[in-house]
Structure 1
Amino acid sequence: MEESKLLSSASVFRAMYDEKKDIYDVLSEFIRAIISFKSLSIFNSLECASHIEEEFGFHIPEAIINSCLRNRLVKSGDLILQGGSYSVSEKFRLNINIESDFSSSRDEYLEIINRLYEYCSNKGLLSVDKNDLESDLEEYLIRPDKNNKHTNDIARYVVLHENEPGFTEKLNRIEEGLILYTGIKYSPDLSTLGVWRGNLTIFLDSEHLFSAAGLNGELYETLFNDFYSLIQEANRNKKGGRISLRYLEETDSEVDRFFYAAQKIVERKGTIDPSKTAMKNICNGCKYGSDVVTKKAEFLSRIKGLKIEPEDSVDYYSKPEFNVESEGVLASLESELSDRSVNRTLISSILKIFTKINYLRKGESSTGIDRVNSIFLTESWLPQRMAFSESVFEGNGAIPFATNIEFLTEKFWFKLNKGFGGKSKKPISFDPIIKAKLIISSQVSRSVSEIYRDLSDKLKSGDISRETVARIHHDIYQAPSLPEDVTIDSIAMTQDVLDENYIEKVIKEKSLLEKSATEGKQAIEELRSMKHQQKLNRYKPIKVTARRQYLILRVSTYIILPLLSIALLISMHSSSDSALSVVFGLASLISLVVSIVRPKRIDNYYWSLSKSWYRKSINKALQRTGR
């Protein structure tokens, strides 16, 4: 795989640079290796460049290879130049350690890619093409703006292993080797290292302006400060060119709209998109709309203090040959960019910016990074993706119309010949862990913004309840949309937010929970009813007996006892008693009983006796069944 050659070669390049401290000396070692590996006797510079690309994955300009052959290997006596061809002399010697260096670097790379493959394939549970994964890893390291199939998995893997001994060092060697390689690729003349030759105008987008003013969080401010320090260093050299920072009219309008939206939020006429860190920092502490106006004045004063000025007024369409906004390009980009957040108007607005950059470049994009004249600096994925599209990008070492801050920081570092391992403090963007966190937080931030817009649309159309919106808002506010918030602990929650069907899944989950809750209540009620019925059935015989006892007591008291008393009284009368005396006696007895006996009290007493017996019988039954 070309990707494995490039990445493992980059690691060797970095190690050799530590020893040589000179780009041409390092390239000389690679050329010596090619001569030995390919058993070359005679060749030209084009053939040498081709062999280097084939063997090591390095696409290095032929002019640099030719300069290295002439000024290093011919002068050292290793090669002889005759008629434009180079022949190997008897003095030629190969570094005896280079083969073992390549073997060791290759083993390190294979360990990384195999472990990454195991992670992405979830130990064989998912189907992952290893060749695609290797290709995506290369683009992840060289083109962080490009979101490939495995970009998020690679970044997550890096963060999850940030504390593993040796892991970061291995990635660092590859990363720093790639910085050196891409520096060569975008610099046709290495003899000028240490000096920034030409004038360059960098147009900052609104996010970089906010980062410069510290509104996008501490890490983004540090990234900008690293970038800004290199610009100051380049500008201090009076022999070189000058790097200027500007912002376009489109960016100025975007900033105005941003602060106007902040005013409305403070006045309770709008809500904050949780992905907009700068918006949160502007609104925090503001009680009135006038407070936002004050913060805007402070912001503009801050960026002016950094010598970041608005663009000069220019007629960018005075030379049609520099216009990149053709209907064909627009249609091609529309077809290429299928993201749901992209539309024709948005693509057209970015092409207008590219036209401005191309006009200032006078159509020249292949002159090297320090001769390109102008570039648009943005962290937005769309302009960067469009800048590398075949519809507008020349390729072959050309400088794209738009790029990110990491790209320019790396190129400044290389052109100023800062190197590695010395006293110079490396920019934090070179740290592979920071890079992974930037990628994850950028993707989360973009996803959160899309979720926020979708929620607003669905709420307006009545497709979603306020309760569900509140729940999703709570979840996405917890998502790590700042790189400093991305940790081993917080990274797990990014997977849900990055799912394009996140809202639908939350709604479905809520519906299932509600359904489960309803079914659960019904089941509980049915179970309670069944248990109650079982209890009734179990205690029914006892209840019948208790009622029977109560009835017997009443019958005995009100029927049997009176009849027995009458019978006793009759048996006691003599033959001398007249019928009248008997009737009178019975009437007197009944009158006495009625005056003494209270049926209601007797009934209550009998009922309490029956109830007491009933309870005792129930308790005994419960003890026998173990409740």
Structure 2
Amino acid sequence: MEEVKLLASASVLRVLYDEKKDIYDVLVEFIRQTISGRSLSAFSSVECVRYLDEDFGFLLPEAIIKSCLRKRLVQTEALTLNNGIYSVSNNFSSSSTFNSDFQESRNEYDEIVQRLHDFCSDNGLLNIRKEEIEESLETYLTRPDKNDKFAKDIANYIIKFENEPGFKDKLDRIEEGLILYTGIRYSPDLSTLGSWRGNLIIFLDSEHLFNATGLNGVLYKTLFDDFNELVNEVNRNKKGGRIELKYLEETSSDIESFFYAAEKIIERKGTIDPSKTAMINICNGCKYRSDVLTKKAEFIAKLARLNISQEVRAEYYSNSDFNVEGSDVLEGLIAELAESNAKNDDISSILKIFTKINVLRKGENNVGIDRIASIFLTESWLPQRMAFSSHVHDGNGAIPFATNIEFITEKLWFKLNKGFGGKSKKPISFDPIIRAKMTISNQVSKSVSSIYRDLSDKYARGEVDKDVLARIHHEIYKAPSRPEDVSIASIAMAHDFLNESYIERVINEKHLLEKQASDGQQAIAELATLRYQSELQKRAPFKAIARRQYAWLRILTYAIIPLALIYAMLSLYSPSDSALSIIFGLASFVSLVISIFRPKKIDSFYWRLSKYWYRKAINKALQRTSR
């Protein structure tokens, strides 16, 4: 049989669910196809489990498969059972519509993968193989705890085409099919769908407490409210079990530290990491430390109104059988997570939480979501990754010690038999568009936080100045670090913050701008000098003329005119004049000249007159040039 991917099978599962509305009937269609496709005449339930995995990617508990075989195929005499072997009878018939339904779903899936591959190729991933994209898409939709290297590209692809007619419907069928598949996988007894039998304690981490009280924004508050509505639906049924929402002592310590950090920020002894939406909302409007304490009290009061309380202290180490903190487990996880740069202390701390969960479960992890007694709800990737590690996870069908809100919401939805297409409003965590926006915002948030820490360290070491600090702070505060801020337009901005060398790039840009400014100022100065010199050259002839005019006026005044006057006096001389009268006459003339003439004033007047002639000549020359 042609290789079939889980996502294509999930889409078929969703289509068949619309037609059948009974999970057993839906699974029987896949079993019939496996029997006819492989031309089986006899097989065991273990073999049937393996065949379904190989043919459709469905890895289901054997108990579920046994129930389907016995309750649907043996009872209708399509199969006979003898000593654990199922034999195909003459009454067996394959589905008449399965192949057409499957081919249609497979075509939709192939189209999505091909377009995704084209999108990635057009956006820089030139040598990526189509098989890599298929694997990444499956990981993206089924294991959000894994930091897949193409998750950002897949999310960008989904957001780009979110408004294209029919595109979201195709993704919805895959997503809802996966919800049905994982619901079956984690429900060993499908006959109990619609009821909740046991008591469950869900321990919320600090981020979910902030989500519950609205400190992390509207969308995360809605995610929590959708989950909490399902919890309340369980608790409204007096005949079944109950679900309690609590938080661990470790989480309480985290909350105390968080609000203490807020106090220090208000006291100007710290700064806000712009990726921490809850911290921003706590600090907004606070002027004094007492304002933060008031918000902390309001936060605790809101949790109480939501029936969320701190765990009751208990003895978790009295029975070593349930302790998962062994040295071999710790060493195995450290080795497994070596490439992720996870800190050993963080791994050890998470194992302590897992021990608490396992003690409350009494080691029972394969009993269905409503019988596991406790689980840790977190959005942190590390505890989710550890929870699925073979060092602590029991394998197929076992409920992990930790999970995210999407997983638990899906399991509650399935267990309560809410279905699709009816009057029930689907949780927004089922929306692939919302998930894509959360993927991008989470990655941007991590990048912004990393940039913020690196920038603070560089500033403390004197490697960046206040201008760079202010510029980057201004930019990262505009980053789409909340899902509701993510759009096609903001993805380009997000790309900047997902660049590992963002700080260095900003510093280099600043240096380049400074150099360009410096070069520009130098060029302006040189141009001004050239213009000045050119102007001097143009004005030089006129200036020379003005200076000659000034010189001739002085010569005329101080040489020619006095000589002319002396000549005039001498012409008035007669032989009858005595020498004494001549001398007296000259002395009187000189005294008159000295009393009348003021050389400085005359020179100043001539200088102004020369400047006037000079300016007039320049203006005439400029007018001729402009013509």
TM-score by length of 1: 0.91
Task: Give the secondary-structure state (helix, strand or coil) at the position aligned to 2:135.
Answer: helix
Letter matched to residue 504 of structure 2:
E
| Structure 2 residue matching 1:475: 3-state secondary structure | helix
The structural deviation recorded for 1:176 is 0.6
1:138 and 1:316 map into 2 onto residues whose CA distance is 37
- Name the SS for the 2:477 alignment partner: helix
Counterparts of 1:356-371 in structure 2, within 5 Å, are 356-371=356-371
| Aligned residue in 2 for 1:327 | 327
**Alignment TM-score, normalising by the size of structure 2:** 0.91
Q: C-alpha distance in 2, partners of 1:219/1:241?
A: 29
Native 8 Å contact 1:322 1:359 kept in 2: yes
Q: Deviations over 1:357-392 (max 9, x none)?
A: 222223332333233222111112222222223443
The match for 2:278 is 278
1:339: how far off? 7.4
CA apart distance, 1:575 = 6.5
> 1:620 deviation in Å?
4.3
Aligned to 2:608: 608
Query: SS state of the match for residue 393, structure 1?
Result: coil
Q: Are the counterparts in 2 of residues 187 and 368 from structure 1 also a CA contact under 8 Å? A: yes
Deviation, structure 1 residue 420? 0.3
1:200-239 deviation per Cα after TM superposition (whole angstroms, max 9, x unaligned):
2211111212222232222222211211121222234445
1: distance between equivalents of 2:385 and 2:544? Answer: 86
SS state at 1:245 partner? strand
The residue identity in structure 2 corresponding to 1:365 is N
- Residue 353 of structure 2 corresponds to residue 350 of structure 1: no
Per-residue deviation, 1:29: 1.8
Which stretch has the larger CA shift, 263-272 or 208-217?
263-272
1:13-61 residue CA offsets vs partner (Å, 9 max, x unmatched): 1111111111111112222333343344444333333332222222222
For residues 559 and 585 of structure 1, what CA distance do their matches in structure 2 show?
A: 20
8 Å CA contact retained: 2:210, 2:278:
yes
Aligned residue for 1:470? Answer: 470
Partner SS for 2:488: coil
1:292 matched residue in structure 2 = 292
Q: What corresponds to 2:386 in structure 1?
A: 386
Measured after TM superposition, the shift of residue 515 of structure 1 is 2.9
Aligned position for 1:225? 225
Matched to 2:260, the amino acid is Y
**In structure 1, what is the Cα distance between the partners aligned to 2:186 and 2:2?**
20
Name the SS of the counterpart of 1:489 in structure 2.
Answer: helix
Shift of 1:418: 0.8
1:87: how far off?
4.2
Question: Which residue does 1:176 correspond to in 2?
Answer: 176
Percent identity reads: 65
The CA deviation string for residues 280-323 of structure 1, in whole angstroms up to 9 with x for no partner, is 33333444433433333333233233332322322222223332
Cα–Cα, structure 1 residues 128 and 188, in superposed 2: closer, same or farther, change >3 Å? same
* 1:584, distance to aligned residue in structure 2 (A): 5.5
Distance 2:325 2:620 in 1: 94
- Does the CA-based 8 Å contact 2:4-2:55 persist in structure 1? no
User: Which segment drifts farther, 279-288 or 208-217?
Assistant: 279-288
Deviation readout 1:321-349 (Å, 9 max, x if unpaired)? 33222334334434444578742222221
1:535 corresponds to: 535
Letter of the structure 1 residue corresponding to residue 299 of structure 2? F
Question: Cα gap change, 1:540/1:322 in structure 2, threshold over 3 Å: closer, same or farther?
Answer: farther
Distance 1:606 1:421, change over 3 A: same
Counterpart of 2:346, as a letter, is L
- Counterpart position of 2:15: 15
Q: Would you say the 8 A contact 1:195–1:239 is kept in 2? A: no
Deviation of 1:567 after TM superposition, in Å, equals 4.6
Match for 2:184: what amino acid? I
- Aligned position for 1:61: 61
Deviation at 1:582, TM superposition (A): 5.8
Deviates more, 1:21-30 or 1:510-519: 510-519
* Equivalence for 2:449: 449
Matches of 2:626 and 2:325, distance apart in 1: 86
Report the equivalent of 1:108: 108
SS in structure 1 opposite 2:510?
helix
Corresponding residue of 2:377? 377
Over 3 Å counting, the alpha-carbon distance change for 1:319 and 1:624 in structure 2 is farther
What displacement does 1:485 show?
2.2
Q: Deviations over 1:141-198 (max 9, x none)?
A: 1122222111122222222332222222111111111111111122222222112233
Give the counterpart letter for 2:541 in structure 1: P
Q: 1:332 to 1:516 in 2, by over 3 A?
A: farther
Tell me if the contact between 1:3 and 1:134 (Cα under 8 Å) persists in the aligned partners.
no
Note the residue ranges of structure 1 that are not aligned, 5 or more in a row.
none
Question: Structure 1 residue 250: deviation in Å?
Answer: 0.7
Q: Which moved more, 1:600-609 or 1:168-177?
A: 600-609
TM-superposed CA distance for 1:351, in Å, is 1.6
Contact kept, 8 Å, 2:60 with 2:396, in 1: the verdict is no
Distance 1:250 1:106 in 2: 47
Deviation per CA, 1:49-105: give whole Å up to 9, x if none.
333222222222233223222222333444444554444444444444333322322
Q: How many residues align?
A: 627
Q: Show the counterpart of 1:187.
A: 187
* Aligned Cα root-mean-square deviation (Å): 3.0
Q: Look up the equivalent residue of 1:54 and give its one-letter code.
A: E
Distance in 2, matches of 1:329 and 1:505, equals 42
1:483 corresponds in structure 2 to 483
Q: Distance in 2 between matches of 1:508 and 1:3?
A: 50
Aligned to 2:409: 409
Residues 210-289 of structure 1: pairs in structure 2 closer than 5 A: 210-289=210-289
Separation in 1, partners of 2:208, 2:584: 121
Equivalent pair of 2:113/2:134 in contact (CA under 8 Å): yes
Counterpart position of 1:164: 164
Pair 1:426 & 2:426 matched: yes
Instruction: Quote the Cα distance in structure 2 between the aligned partners of 1:506 and 1:394.
Output: 48
Q: Distance in 2 between matches of 1:125 and 1:449?
A: 26
Report the CA distance shift for 1:293/1:81 in structure 2 as closer, same or farther (over 3 A): same
Aligned counterparts of 1:521 and 1:584: Cα–Cα separation in 2: 71
